[in-house]
Amino acid sequence: MSIHTENDFHLNPSPPFDVRIVFCGYTRVANWNYTNVNLRVWLLYWNRTSGAELELNGSVKKMEPGEVILIPPYTTFSTRLREPFLHFYIHFEAKAPFDRVKREFLCFPASHAAKVLPRILKARDEVSRALAFRLLIYEYLLRIPGSAFLPPGESVLDPRILRALDIMNHELALTRDNRGICKRIGMSLNNFYRLFLAETGTTPKHYLLNQRMESARRLLIDSEKTIDEIAFETGYADRYHFSKAFKSFYACPPVAYRGMYRRKS
């Protein structure tokens, strides 16, 4: 016979839940002026020093050391540099119900991040580091208020636009135009363009450029692939066209960008 108190609880086994960390880092940033950023992943930002701003729907937010900012997938925002700053960031994927979080900045006290970051930096092995990352992410996901979620069954984007985004996200290496995407999602070209802009706040061309550049910089930092291989994987005809696009986007040629991060490591 067992004795139960009012604080006892019993849970049924739940489906496994995990986040997938796509990209992360801790670095000093001296160039951070980007317009209409829109990525398919969650972003967790914590700036250890002041110097940066975010803009969403015309409203500007200063990034301060005392605050962690979560940005849901497919949120279109711009970044601005006032002076160089220390930037801790995690790009990650999270399954339902976190695909129903409204596209807005979610701000929380940085006290938890301040406790966990030293454990990440001083982790004895990769397993310990991975656990520390999740300790950080899960705490801030837990803090998202219920009011930030759409009701079950609702989507943050029109299903046709979600399908188009999925095509763009997973087929960067393929040469395509909007007509090919429209055919696959069953929309006319004009209606697709108008709906895409209304739903995401950016154009299909600019969104695809964002994904290609984000994928390219991850490959430059985390892989040993050649510039030619990265150009092909991100949908460019050759090294020249890729390097030109990358330099225009990041104000730094890809070879120099890779070297800069390798020196920091």
Q: CB within 8 A of 190, min separation 6: which ones?
A: none
Cβ proximity of 149 and 101 under 8 Å = yes
Residue 167 tokens, joined: 């095509």
- Segment 56-72 shows an average pLDDT of 97
Reported as a pLDDT band with limits 50, 70 and 90, residue 8 is low
Cβ proximity of 187 and 160 under 8 Å = yes
Sheet of 59-63, strand order: 34-37, 77-81, 52-56, 59-63
Reported as a pLDDT band with limits 50, 70 and 90, residue 177 is confident
Residue 6 has pLDDT above 60, yes or no: no
pLDDT at 174: 80
The helix-helix angle for 189-200 and 204-222 (nearest 10°) equals 60
pLDDT tens per residue, range 197-219: 999 999 999 999 999 999 999 99
- The secondary structure element, H or E, covering residue 105 is none
Pairing of strands 106-109, 67-71: antiparallel
Cβ proximity of 79 and 52 under 8 Å = yes
pLDDT at 74: 96
Q: CB within 8 A of 145, min separation 6: which ones?
A: none
Closest among 169, 155, 242 to 204, alpha carbons compared: 169
- Segment 149-158 shows an average pLDDT of 94
CA distance 96 to 43: 16
* Domains located in the chain, CATH noted: 19-148 (2.60.120.280), 159-264 (1.10.10.60)
Residue 18 has pLDDT above 90, yes or no: no
* Residue with the larger pLDDT of the pair 178 and 47: 47
pLDDT tens per residue, range 24-46: 999 999 989 999 999 999 999 99
Reported as a pLDDT band with limits 50, 70 and 90, residue 160 is very high
- Report the length, in residues, of the chain: 265
Sheet of 106-109, strand order: 19-29, 85-94, 42-47, 67-71, 106-109
pLDDT tens per residue, range 240-265: 999 999 999 999 999 999 988 776 55
- Segment 61-89 shows an average pLDDT of 97
CA distance 123 to 18: 20
Sign of the alpha-carbon torsion through 224, 229, 231, 234:
negative
pLDDT tens per residue, range 109-146: 999 999 999 999 999 999 999 999 999 999 999 999 99
Residue 155 has pLDDT above 60, yes or no: yes
